[in-house]
Amino acid sequence: MPKMKLRLPLKKGDNGPHVQVLQGILLALGCNVPTIMRGHFGPVTRCGVEQLQDRLGLEKTGIFDERLHKALEAYGLNLKEFVKLVRSRMPYAVTDLPEDVRPKPD
């Protein structure tokens, strides 16, 4: 099964379904972000990314980049698991996600 890819980097000012997935990841991991994932990477999403970076001992850049993604994978978390965690909280159907971030059937 091919790995799902989240478009990286994601940073303040970005918009769309990839940001919604990131917001769901942050929410599932207990970061202080709104429960409504609007898909806009604004100051609150940036703060959530910084919280996660701080927890993982990374420099707080506020950018969800390859380094942060790899740090999460090192803790045994991968994008497929993230999407499974947040799928039920998404404000849209999974089929509305871009093809490259849709969860694959088990």
CATH number, position 54: 1.10.101
Contact indicator for 18, 9 with CB cutoff of 8 Å = no
CA angle 53, 100, 98 (to 5 degrees): 95
Helices (H), 29-87: 43-55, 66-74, 79-86
Predicted local distance difference test score (pLDDT) of residue 4:
47
Residue 22 included in any domain: yes
Domain span at residue 50 reads: 17-95
Predicted local distance difference test score (pLDDT) of residue 14:
95
Residue 1 included in any domain: no
Residue 72 included in any domain: yes
What's the structural domain count of the chain? 1
82: which 2 tokens?
């993230």
DSSP class of residue 35? Answer: S
Q: What is the pTM of this model?
A: 0.74
Predicted local distance difference test score (pLDDT) of residue 72:
86
Residue 24 carries which side chain, given as an amino acid letter? G
* pLDDT digits (tens), the chain, 106 positions: 334 467 899 999 999 888 888 888 888 888 888 777 788 999 999 999 999 999 999 999 999 999 998 898 888 776 666 666 655 555 544 445 555 555 454 4
In 3D, which of 70, 81, 31 has the Cα closest to residue 52?
31
